[in-house]
Amino acid sequence: LDLEWSSKVFELSDFLYVLHGLVGDMLCFSTIERNSIIGDNYRWPHTIPYVLDDSLEMNAKGVILKAFEQYRLKTCIDFKPWEGEKNYISVFKGSGCWSSVGNRQEGLQQLSIGANCDRIGTIQHEFLHALGFWHEQSRFDRDDYVSIMWDRIQPGKNHNFIKYDDTISDSLNVPYDYTSVMHYSQNAFRNGTEPTIVTNIPDFMDVIGQRMDFSDYDLQKLNRLYNCSSSLSFMDTCSFELENICGMIQSSDDNSDWQRLSQVPAGPNTDHTNMGECKDSGYFMHFNTSAGAEGSTAILESRILYPKRGFQCLQFYFYNSGHESDRLYVWVREYTSAHPNGTLRLIEEIKGSPASYWQLHHVSLNVTSKFRVVFQGVRGSGLSKGGLSIDDINLSETQCPHHVWHIRNFTHLLNTSPAGTAGRIYSPPFYSSKGYAFQVSLFVNGTANNPFNLAMYLYLISGANDDQLQWPCAWQQGTMTLLDQHPDIRQRMSNQRSITTDPLKLSDSSSNYFWDRPDKVGSVATFPNGTRFMRGPGIGTSTFLTHQRLRSRNFIKEDSVYILLTMEASVTLTEKPEMEVPNYCPDNPCENDGVCIIVDRVSVCRCPAGDNWWYMGEKCERRGSTHENTVIVVSSTIAVFVVMLIVTITTAVCLKKKYSQRKENTESLTLEVVSILPLSTNIYT
Ligand SMILES: [Zn+2]
């Protein structure tokens, strides 16, 4: 289980590529734009066409799509499967993780997600390169913030630490960012055990090198470079800090109101946003159930929202200091042409015993027309001393996590758990959408070999559906996310890892399939209530997150952590095969009424032909006919044959071009170095 940080090292440097790529650029563009590559021609369109190459690992494919979702949530950059556009990104499994900087305008542009690159932060990082960003420590002003220890760098790797002049690279008027997902870690390319990058402010030594998510400045830079003003999937966030309560309104169809408060005697004592740590702030909305009659109700409605994707996840924190008979209902009010005044649809009833803490709730919506989210509190029959409170609402057009593991009193666990198996805790059992039962373990103080880290592992366990399921479990992707509980979803930097079940993977210790039935390959385990079950072997990482990072951000809030879990069929099983139906090219390059279609990911012109004439050439630009060529007696059958032949040749030529281009690319690429930790097999089962 002991893992080594392995750095992938490449022979070619950013430097060579910059020389190669920028001379022409500086000649063509006199204006200095904006640690982003200068030059408009390096920009991508806001929706980037991509291809996921078959060489990619299954897990990587799923994580790439999750990385795209982060772009859609936090930036105006979107991605779409390539349909013949001139320039596109082909993501493939190369040697390590790397990308060119910016749009190289070369048609197929490669981006490598190699072995052990299949984590979301790494993929976000690579795509930031492709979008035009260098590493943060390449900024021209970096010597003001970090010291490069040249004598500790591996021989021949100095070029990874060069900086770019401000005529080549623009910092977009954003301060140097130690928290950037584009910053190297202190150990990048070290030749021994001493750091190669030392931050001038010592507190940032353990900050640099994060690969969790975009930092605030990463987003600011990207959004400036691409003139972003909105994102595809973000809808609304509200922490009720402002008196306008984000445009939410009190309905008139009720007999009570939600109140904006910072404290309630029966609880909560503080809001969730600031946990009472900020003077003159820290508000939440409260429905008092200690007064009024049974059935009295208060309705709070969001402003009108406009969906783009047709599915939403509503997240909020809920505090119940009332009675267990009190209810919170979540509705949507949908406006359609048939119902211009809106109709209410009940989404979820939230009930439960009063508790003395804030609890995170997720509610999935599937709204396709303009709508409001409606929170309705209803007083129950029991005697209440408090009421219902909500805070830190986020609404986005994203998928909700399938399961939530809420771990309370986390500081106590950190202070008392030993490193290694004795300090390991297990989640409750969950079911995947397919019906597989699974569980997650957390080593609170790390494994024996990697203390001061969170370690996390995923296991299949015996479940109710095992007789009906296929074994070994094939291509199910489990995703474990430690939630950054920042009130605004756009500023969360959660930490996430995914694992995909490979049905052919064998156990290290036996000839069994790793993901076979837990009652066949697992060992006996016991739930806290004494029920015995079987737990299969687990896969995960001993370095899920360092304790320094765990104590940063809002991972621990109100002394709780939340681990969000999703287990779903791998993308490749749900994705339709690309080539089944002809795909038409968006920009038709074909002349003479030729039809452009995508064949094996290459755009090809299908040229028209008549009884004694036909068009040929890559763009159907040349005409052939029996009048010109008297030797051939052309029948319609032969004409069709010729056209088909041309198509075949065109395809072959294009494919050849594609592959020869690929070869050139690998010789002149801007290369990436990422310290990576492979997921490891858990030997503790
Ligand atoms: Zn990089």
Task: Identify the pLDDT of residue 30.
Answer: 28
The pair of structure tokens assigned to 99 is 């990308």
Look at the block and give the residue holding tokens 């690998």.
666
- Could you give the maximum distance between any two Cα atoms of the chain, in Å? 100
Q: 330 with 369, same domain? A: yes
Q: What is the CATH number of the domain that holds 348?
A: 2.60.120.200
Provide the domain count of the chain: 4
The answer on pLDDT for 393 being more than 90 is: yes
State the average pLDDT over residues 627-646.
43
- Report how far residue 57's alpha carbon sits from residue 64's, in angstroms, rounded to the nearest whole number: 11
Residue 596 lies in a domain: no
Lowest mean pLDDT among 34-38, 416-420, 436-440: 34-38
Q: Among 496, 580, 585, 602, which Cα is nearest to 90's?
A: 602
What's the rounded Cα separation, in Å, for the pair 378 and 570? 41
- The answer on 413 and 463 residing in a single domain is yes
Do 352 and 327 contact (CB within 8 A), yes or no?
no
Nearest one of 475, 536, 534 to 503, comparing CA atoms:
475
Q: Are 674 and 96 in contact (CB under 8 A)?
A: yes
pLDDT band for position 598 (cuts 50, 70, 90): low
Residue with tokens 């790793």, as numbered in its chain: 514
Question: Within 13 Å and on the Cβ side, how many CA atoms surround 233?
Answer: 24
pLDDT at 619: 80
> Is residue 664 among the annotated active site residues?
no
* CA distances, 64 to each of 50, 111, 372, 489, 665 (Å): 11, 11, 32, 20, 22
What whole-number distance in Å separates Cα of residue 254 and Cα of residue 297?
6
Instruction: Give me the pLDDT at residue 638, please.
Output: 45
Please report where in the chains the tokens 């004439």 appear, as a residue: 613
Beta bridge pairs of residue 596: 605
Phi, psi values for residue 654, rounded to 5°: -65, -40
DSSP per-residue string spanning 540-554: EEEEEEEHHHHTSTT
pLDDT at 314: 98
Tell whether the model's pLDDT for residue 668 goes beyond 60.
no
CA 178/CA 186 separation, integer angstroms: 11
- Which entry of 4, 83, 85, 126 is annotated as an active-site residue? 126
| Same domain membership, residue 418 and residue 384 | no
Q: Which phi and psi (to 5°) does residue 455 adopt?
A: -115, 140
Residue 531 has which token pair?
């029920």
210 and 253 both lie in a single domain: no
Residue-level pLDDT at 279: 82
- The whole-number pLDDT of residue 628 equals 40
Tokens 């996840």 -> residue? 313
Is 129 labelled a binding residue? yes
Task: Decide if 607 is inside a domain.
Answer: no
From the CA of 270, how far away is ligand 1's center (Å)?
42
Give the end of a domain, one of 528, 557, 572.
572
* DSSP structural state of residue 191: S
pLDDT surpassing 60 at residue 395? yes
Decide if 52 is inside a domain: yes
**What is the domain extent for residue 382?**
234-396
Pairing, β 47-52 against β 78-81: parallel
Structure confidence by residue, pLDDT tens digits, 70-119: 999 999 999 999 999 999 999 999 999 999 999 999 999 999 999 999 99
Burial class (CB in 10 A: 0-12, 13-18, 19+), 105: exposed
HEC per residue, 70-111: HHHHHCCCEEEECCCCCCEEEEECCCCEEECCCCCCCCEEEE
Please give the torsion angle defined by the CA atoms of residues 313, 317, 321 and 322, in that order, rounded to the nearest 10 degrees: -20
Tokens representing 236? Answer: 């609304």
- 135 marked as binding residue: yes
Q: How far is residue 682's CA from residue 542's CA, in Å, rounded to a whole number?
A: 9
Q: Does residue 161 contact residue 196 with C-beta atoms inside 8 Å?
A: yes
Residue 203 half-sphere exposure toward CB, CA atoms < 13 A: 2
Going from the Cα of 272 to the center of ligand 1, the distance in angstroms, rounded, reads 36
Whether 669 has a pLDDT exceeding 50, the answer reads: no
Residues 145 and 29 in one domain: yes
Specify whether 514 is located in the same domain as 409: yes
Q: Are 638 and 613 in contact (CB under 8 A)?
A: no
Task: Kindly report the CATH number assigned to the domain that includes residue 442.
Answer: 2.60.210.10
How does pLDDT run across 567-578, given as a tens digit for each residue? 999 875 555 444
pLDDT at 571: 72
pLDDT tens readout for residues 306-329: 999 999 999 999 999 999 999 999
Domain assignment present for 119: yes
Q: Is residue 308 part of a domain?
A: yes
Angle between helices 120-131 and 58-74 (to 10 degrees): 60
Ligand-binding annotation for 466, yes or no, is no
- Ligand 1 center–CA 673 separation, angstroms: 6
DSSP-derived secondary structure for 466-502: TTTS-SS--SEEEEEEE----SSGGG---EEEEEE--
Question: How many whole angstroms from 128 Cα to the centroid of ligand 1?
Answer: 8
User: Angle at Cα 357 formed by Cα 356 and Cα 361, nearest 5°?
Assistant: 130
Residue 65: pLDDT band with limits 50, 70, 90: very high
The answer to which of 54-58, 196-200, 503-507, 655-659 has the lowest mean pLDDT is: 655-659
In sequence order, the β-bridge partners of residue 256 are: 298
Secondary structure (3-state) at 17: helix
**How high does pLDDT run on average in the chain?**
85
- Rounded distance from Cα 665 to ligand 1 centre (Å): 17
- Does 621 fall in a domain? no
Question: Does residue 609 lie in a domain region?
Answer: no
Residues in CB range of 158: below 8 A, 6 or more apart: 150
Among 339-343, 508-512, 625-629, the minimum mean pLDDT is found in 625-629
Under a CB-based contact definition with an 8 Å cutoff, are residues 539 and 680 in contact? yes
Q: Is 323 marked as binding a ligand?
A: no
Q: How confident is the model at residue 147 (pLDDT cuts 50, 70, 90)?
A: very high
**Of the candidates 225, 243, 267, which is a domain's last residue?**
225
Please indicate, yes or no, whether residues 106 and 12 belong to a single structural domain of this protein. yes
Which pLDDT score, from 0 to 100, does residue 258 have?
97
- 28: pLDDT strictly greater than 50: no
Examine the fold and report which residue of 363, 381, 396 is the final residue of a domain before the chain moves on. 396
Q: Is 600 part of any domain? A: no
How many angstroms separate the alpha carbon of residue 264 from the centre of ligand 1? Answer: 49
Same domain, 556 and 631: no
CA of 214 to the centre of ligand 1 (A): 13
Q: Are residues 420 and 340 in the same domain?
A: no
Whether 409 and 384 share a structural domain: no
pLDDT over 80 (residue 152)? yes
User: For residue 76, which of 200, 181, 219 has the smallest C-alpha distance?
Assistant: 219
Distance, in Å, from the CA atom of 291 to the CA atom of 383, rounded to the nearest integer, reads 9
- In this predicted structure, what is the pLDDT of residue 160? 87
What is the whole-number distance in angstroms between the Cα of residue 181 and the centre of ligand 1?
9
How do residues 508-548 score in pLDDT, each as one tens digit? 888 999 999 999 999 999 999 999 999 999 999 999 999 99
* Secondary structure class of 644 (helix, strand, coil): helix
CATH number of the domain encompassing residue 22: 3.40.390.10
Our CA dihedral for 143, 146, 148, 152, rounded to 10 degrees, sits at 170
Strands 312-320 and 680-681: unpaired
Strands 675-676 and 6-7, bridge-based pairing: antiparallel
Angle between helices 120-131 and 216-225 (to 10 degrees): 30
For residues 157 and 121, membership in a common domain is answered with yes
**Residue 563 alpha carbon to ligand 1 centre in Å:** 28
Instruction: Give the pLDDT of residue 510.
Output: 83
Per-residue tokens: 471: 């074994």
78 and 189: one domain?
Answer: yes
Buried b (16+ CB within 10 A) or exposed e, 479-506: bbbbbbbbbebbbbbbbbbbbbbbeebe
d(CA 231, CA 388): 32
End-to-end CA distance of the chain: 12
